[in-house]
Structure 1
Amino acid sequence: MRSFLVLLFFSWLTVAHAQTLLKGVVLDEEKHTPVPKASVFLSNTSIGTTANDEGGFALNVPAGKFELVVSSVGYATYSQSINTNEVLGFITIKLTPKAPELETIIIEPYEKDGWEKWGKWFTDNFIGTTEYSRDCRIKNPEALKFRNSKKNNTLTAVAVAPLQIENKALGYRITYQLEDFRYNFKTRMLFYAGFPFFQNLQGSDHKQRQWEKAREDVYLGSMLQFMRALYRNKIVEEGFDVRRLQKIPNAEKNRVKMIYKTSSVRADENGRLVSTVNRDSSAYYNRIMREDDFKKVYGKDLLRGDSMAYAIDSTVAGFDFPDYLLVIYKYKKNPPEFKQMFPKSSDAMMSEITLVNGKPLQVLANGSYFNPEDLLSTGYWGWWEKMGTMLPFDYQPPARK
């Protein structure tokens, strides 16, 4: 029997402020010598430190599960999942030196003047095109190399150094260890992964208040807020309307497509259908071909968190559902930038999510979830959830009055 998610809320309250002191040392895997000044941080948080000259470090880890990341120039990035429910003790981290000869082995060459060619496209898809993204920029774009594979129809981006991102809209300096970035031109699917570390920018009291207001605005309606609300079984109270969604193949459109293949119906140079059949049939075919490939069928009832999520243990919630979910945040409307990019969209902030591999997610109290690759979002979240609107997992919105 599955436990209701609401039970997790009470156990989280008792440990939310508990911390574990994690101590360790960073060594060169080959020489077994200390790696001084290595960066040690919890991915997607503002919690981090720097190893001393002997490679030693100490880090206060909040209760929960995190990705511990260690990086240093000349070494491959190290990552390890840690959970404060387990005894962490003293850990020894061994960094693997990057092999110079491997860096020169290129199956396909990098694009010459890659940033000039792909920089705006990369920025729009990595940083975003929201109002907040306008004041967010990559300070070292020269670290990015691009490879456009005609064979695989895929654009790949590689960062030879951590990306230094300054978000003046939200008041963060972000160091991003980009591990993977690829876009498939055929499927139009983008995937990127990495380890961000947040640091607060310095500013006047007035500026700090502006940043706090902007961060709260970004948080409301975000996937971060949704995952936290789901964990606490509060999605309705937090303003999310969730319905089940099925996408049924458009049988009539598929039938018309078959007609094209077996008759003299074809498209002219302007994309219009021409045929030896009568005019009425041709007009009908054109109308059907403008329809979507799938017809959407929405569930009548709004869903609560405990109909999709369940307790895995005292700190982890499972998130599982069939087909798709339609998620609407009802306390805000789509911003003008979204409406400009998608003029046929409604005012409602609507997102669709699906578990692409059919595997349940593991959701934690801070809104993080594993494995991120298993969740695909489109609609509002597909546009909004970029680096320009990203908040660290240790962000807390101001208390509501």
Structure 2
Amino acid sequence: MRANLFILFLIYAVSSFGQFRKSDRISISVKDAPLEAIFDSLSAQTDYFFSYNTDLLPKGSLYTISAENEPIDQFLSRLFIGTGLKYSFFKDQIILHYEAPQLVVKKKNFFTISGTVYDENGQPLNSANVFLDGTTIGVSSDIDGNYKLESIPPGFYNIVFSHVGYENAVYQLSEINGGARIQNHQMELDLGQLEEVEVISNRIRRTEDSWLAYYLAFKKELIGLTENADKCVIENPEALDFTYNRGANALRAYASEPLQIRNDALGYRITYFLESFRKENDGDLRFRGKIRFRNLAAMNGAEKREWKRNRKESYYGSFNHFKKSLLDGNLRKDGYRIYRLRDLEKFEMKKENELTEADILVFKGNHYELDFNNHLIVEYRRERESRSFLRNSSVVDVIYSEYITPNGILAKDPGNQISIIRLLRGSLRLDLSGEIMDKFGVTTFGYWSWERTADLVPINYDPKYDNL
């Protein structure tokens, strides 16, 4: 292996010389190896040696790739995908150089939504929360009840109107052509929630100790048990009320106002509009709400860099990342493998059950449909499970039953992250950006359900353009 400082002078000269010999084929299988080690292996099998400046190589990247009697030029083309590396050759030298990828700025049809919020008497209502669910896009109405949401990427959204003392309202909208939209709304007084809580609570003996126990159980389920959860705080827990039905062993939670959650792991302030929460003894957990994200102000550059790093780690391997990779046709490139699963009780990932994007995704012109029978296993190979997941997740007994000892101990080291998708209403519609158009049409198990609010990033998050 040699680093060649005169490479720039050679590139043009060698570009018109010779071709790889058709007899130059290689067989190789490496896992998590640096490029330098792969170059050494190729040189050992052929008459070629590599000439390059080590500064050109991606820092810290490891590669898993295999080939069986494959032409070396074809193998190199596969190896260099996404690295920016190009090669030329001169006699027995393979000379590497770097070509910065051209940034293609896609023109998006951004659009705006504006309107006026009124109270029950038709008078303008100020300080109403108006936001797109699950995003950082949101404002409060002004003194005249007016609001305006700007720079919205095309896609499918739920626009939420919320105000203390009024019922939340949600409108679904989809936009792909850009422009401006008008959405007015008249808020209605919320008269039923407190009455419902009071009636249910009369059946249950309530104490401060029981409230604390219920709160801790609620927080664990809503926030999660990951490392990021340790840095999340619900700043207004007094807004929560709980009921517990001993006969059904069911816990319910209610919130008199939106929950304010500070996530110091990812740098977000989350306003969580809790709509329902129910946990039953059989392990059935169901909760839903609307979420608005805001960026926290970093104290210094180090904290900002940490937040960016943690956000990327939370995003890659998530359900949102999976959907984007699926629509882009990059599942394998991005580290995913998907498998058919006919019976959840007979969990197995066999090569013959592996599927591709074309097996489960259908383009319908103005939307996509995710369609498969039974369950779909999603394996993410670029990040390991946490040990906390292996200790605490209820689905581990299903996924890793073969690793459970007779005395009930899970004898397994962390492996690839595994999640399971189940469609509840036949096929599932996705908009052109990958957003689910029926939130109640799908459920997930495994790692995706293990990572809760503490590991959420907004649906409009883009790791390339995360401006804190």
Shorter-chain TM-score bucket reads: 0.7 to 0.9
Matched, 1:93 2:160: no
Q: 2-side partners of 1:218 and 1:73: how far apart? A: 32
Match in the other structure for 2:330: 234
SS of equivalent residue, structure 2 residue 286: strand
Figure out how many residues of one structure are paired with residues of the other and give that number.
Answer: 336
**Distance change >3 Å, CA 33–CA 152, structure 1 → 2:** farther
Q: 2-side partners of 1:308 and 1:58: how far apart? A: 38
Q: 2-side partners of 1:336 and 1:150: how far apart? A: 33
Match in the other structure for 1:276: none
Which residue of 173, 177, 182 corresponds with 2:278? 182
Residue 48 of structure 1 contacts residue 59 of structure 1 at CA under 8 Å; is this kept in 2? yes
> Displacement, 1:152?
4.1
Which residue of 191, 194, 203 corresponds with 2:286? 191
Task: Encode CA deviations 1:242-275: one digit per residue, 9 max, x unaligned.
Answer: 0101117xxxxxxxxxxxxxxxxxxxxxxxxxxx
Q: TM-score, normalised by structure 2?
A: 0.68
Which residue of 375, 383, 387 corresponds with 1:336? 387
Match in the other structure for 2:90: none
Higher relative contact order (CA 8 A, sep 6+): 1
Which residue of 434, 458, 461 corresponds with 1:395? 461
Match in the other structure for 1:378: 445
Residue 367 of structure 1 contacts residue 393 of structure 1 at CA under 8 Å; is this kept in 2? no
**Distance change >3 Å, CA 175–CA 89, structure 1 → 2:** same
Q: 2-side partners of 1:19 and 1:358: how far apart? A: 31
> Displacement, 1:112?
3.6
> Displacement, 1:349?
1.0
Residue 16 of structure 1 contacts residue 63 of structure 1 at CA under 8 Å; is this kept in 2? no
Task: Encode CA deviations 1:66-116: one digit per residue, 9 max, x unaligned.
Answer: 1101111111111111112478632220111112x7623433217443541
Match in the other structure for 1:321: 372
Residue type at the aligned position of 2:379: I
Which residue of 161, 184, 200 corresponds with 1:108? 200
> Displacement, 1:225?
0.6
1:1-400 map, 5 Å: 17-28=108-119, 30-60=120-150, 61-85=152-176, 89-99=181-191, 103-105=194-196, 106-109=198-201, 111-113=206-208, 114-186=210-282, 188-203=283-298, 204-247=300-343, 294-296=345-347, 298-299=349-350, 300-314=352-366, 316-341=367-392, 343-344=410-411, 346-355=414-423, 357-384=424-451, 386-398=452-464
SS of equivalent residue, structure 1 residue 195: strand
Residue 377 of structure 2 contacts residue 418 of structure 2 at CA under 8 Å; is this kept in 1? yes
Q: 2-side partners of 1:64 and 1:199: how far apart? A: 20
Q: 2-side partners of 1:63 and 1:44: how far apart? A: 15
Q: 1-side partners of 2:439 and 2:380: how far apart? A: 21
SS of equivalent residue, structure 2 residue 183: strand
> Displacement, 1:238?
1.2
**Distance change >3 Å, CA 79–CA 14, structure 1 → 2:** farther
Q: TM-score, normalised by structure 1?
A: 0.78
SS of equivalent residue, structure 1 residue 66: strand
> Displacement, 1:311?
1.3
**Distance change >3 Å, CA 359–CA 152, structure 1 → 2:** farther
Q: 1-side partners of 2:426 and 2:267: how far apart? A: 36
> Displacement, 1:339?
3.0
Q: CA RMSD in A?
A: 2.2
Can you give the 5+ residue segments of structure 2 that lack an aligned partner in the other structure?
A: 1-103, 397-409
Q: 2-side partners of 1:156 and 1:215: how far apart? A: 31
Q: Which moved more, 1:60-69 or 1:358-367?
A: 358-367
Residue 214 of structure 2 contacts residue 251 of structure 2 at CA under 8 Å; is this kept in 1? no
Residue 216 of structure 1 contacts residue 398 of structure 1 at CA under 8 Å; is this kept in 2? no
SS of equivalent residue, structure 1 residue 398: helix
Residue 351 of structure 1 contacts residue 377 of structure 1 at CA under 8 Å; is this kept in 2? yes
> Displacement, 1:146?
0.8
**Distance change >3 Å, CA 31–CA 344, structure 1 → 2:** farther
